[in-house]
Amino acid sequence: MGKVVEKLVYERPKSLTDAHTHYCPGCTHGVSHRLVAEALDELGIRERTIGIAPVGCSVLAYYYFNVDFAEAAHGRAPAMATGMKRANPDRVIFTYQGDGDLAAIGTGEIVHAAGRGENITVIFINNAIYGMTGGQMAPTTLEGQKTTSSPMGRDISIAGHPLKMSELLSTLDGAAYVVRHSLHDVKHIRRARKAILTAFKVQLAGLGFSMVELLSTCCTNWKMDPVESLDWLRDNMVPFYPLGEHKVIDAVKDL
Amino acid sequence: MARGRIEIDEQYCKGCRLCVSVCPQEILAISSRLNERGYMPAEIIDMERCTGCSMCAVICPDVCITVYRQVPLRQT
């Protein structure tokens, strides 16, 4: 056997601070944060990136990313990102939003930002529930899913159908790259990482609006342990929210 | 000889068990001691069998795992 050396294959990304996160044990917000940070590191754009935090569990994201950050009013992150990007076109602007922020109070902002084809990147965390406020029904809650405000399960005849934001936004001409990935196992996390990288490349190339939807867990409000949550995500959310590239314009394929 | 090695920063670990659930070598476990934030952190129970596959680090929500792999000298 020849000589071997030890090679570092994985370490904490430079785009994350040393802070301890306030997220519950097993929360996939931590995974999403890390994937975004890895993309910023890999593209070497940390020092010219500005993130925008939402309202929701990830409201404190500005403590965790080692980049400039702003905090938007509830749901208004895409509007704030629009202003920032237009005023500072050389900066990389991304928003990090949950489903309560993006798909409920902020539906208007996200639809119009995508429709205008704003050159921003949106990281959309869909965990089918309102996490921070105590596990109420969200626009993305699945039919029959029990939450604190739908204790008998979501009744479609009263609460209507869940919103599929990626499909919805993919119909808009301004959207350049709209994809959905899941964080339920290592293979899918690696795919999500690649998609986030592509989304930032789309912005760097000036191709228009890019969004990566990440199916995520909420162990605390789903009332499951972290491993069960990932299984529940795989078995219930993935069949309803199809994974894949919902819109990729030709120019993105050439990147 | 081990093909890989990991370091777990126990102060970041919240003991969520996700790394334990994905380790193909089944060499991770939750320890019975508490870290300074009151969580029982994950620990490696048989480092000799680690292959450095980094699956634990990929699933870790708290980014507390650093992974090293043994590679032949010519590949570096």
Q: What ipTM did this prediction achieve?
A: 0.93
Domain boundaries, chain A: 29-253
The per-residue pLDDT for range A205-217, each reduced to its tens digit, is 999 999 999 999 9
CB–CB of B63 and A20 under 8 A?
no
Which residues in A86-224 belong to E strands, given as ranges? 92-98, 121-126, 175-182, 209-215
Q: Tell me the average pLDDT across A107-132.
A: 96
Helices A77-87, A107-116: crossing angle, 10 deg rounding? 30
Q: Which B-chain residues 38-57 have CB contacts (< 8 A) with chain A?
A: 39, 52, 54-55, 57
Number of domains observed in the structure of chain B? 1
Distance, in Å, from the CA atom of A82 to the CA atom of A106, rounded to the nearest integer, reads: 14
CATH number at residue B48: 3.30.70.20
Segment B39-67, tens digit of pLDDT: 999 999 999 999 999 999 999 999 999 99
The pair phi, psi for residue A175, each rounded to 5°, is -75, 130
Give the pLDDT mean for A109-133: 96
- Residue ranges making up the domain that contains B23: 4-75
Q: What percent of chain A has pLDDT over 90?
A: 96
For residues A114 and A169, give the distance between their C-alpha atoms in angstroms, rounded to a whole number: 7
- Write the CB contacts of B26 (distance below 8 Å, at least 6 apart in sequence): none
- The yes-or-no verdict on residue B75 having pLDDT over 70 is no
Instruction: Give SS3 for B6.
Output: strand
Residue B3 has pLDDT above 80, yes or no: yes
* A108 residue type, one letter: G
Q: Cβ–Cβ of A186/B71 closer than 8 Å?
A: no
Structure tokens at A66: 């080692």
- Whether residue A174 contacts residue A22, with contact meaning beta carbons closer than 8 Å, is answered with no
Q: How confident is the model at residue B19 (pLDDT cuts 50, 70, 90)?
A: very high
Q: Which of B58, B72, B76 sits opposite A186 (nearest CB)?
A: B58
Mean pLDDT of chain A: 96
**Chain B residues with CB-CB distance to A5 below 8 A:** 70-71, 73, 76
- A254 band by pLDDT with thresholds 50, 70 and 90: confident
B32 part of contact set with chain A, CB < 8 Å: no
pLDDT at B76: 53
Interface mutation target, options B18, B39, B69, B76, chain A, most CBs of A under 10 Å:
B18
HSE-up of B55 (CA within 13 Å, CB side)? 20
Q: Does residue B30 belong to the interface with chain A, where contact is any CB pair within 8 Å?
A: no
Tokens of A221: 């409000």
Give the integer Cα–Cα distance in Å for A129 and A171. Answer: 25
Tell me which residue in A7, A8, A27 faces B61 most closely, judged by beta carbons: A27
pLDDT tens digit sequence for A48-105: 999 999 999 999 999 999 999 999 999 999 999 999 999 999 999 999 999 999 999 9
What is the pLDDT, as a whole number, of residue A1? 58
The predicted pLDDT at position A155 comes to 96
* Yes or no: domain A29-253 corresponds to CATH 3.10.20.30: no
Task: Give dist(CA A69, CA A58) in Å, integer.
Answer: 12
Residue B70, chain A, CB below 8 Å: the answer is yes
Chain-chain contact of A7 with B66 (C-beta, under 8 angstroms): no
* Exposure on the CB side of residue A197, measured as CA atoms within 13 A: 14
- Residue type for position A92: V
Asked if A158 has any chain B CB less than 8 Å from its own CB, the reply is no
Among A3, A35, A22, which Cα is nearest to A196's? Answer: A35
Task: Average the pLDDT over A113-137 and give the result.
Answer: 96
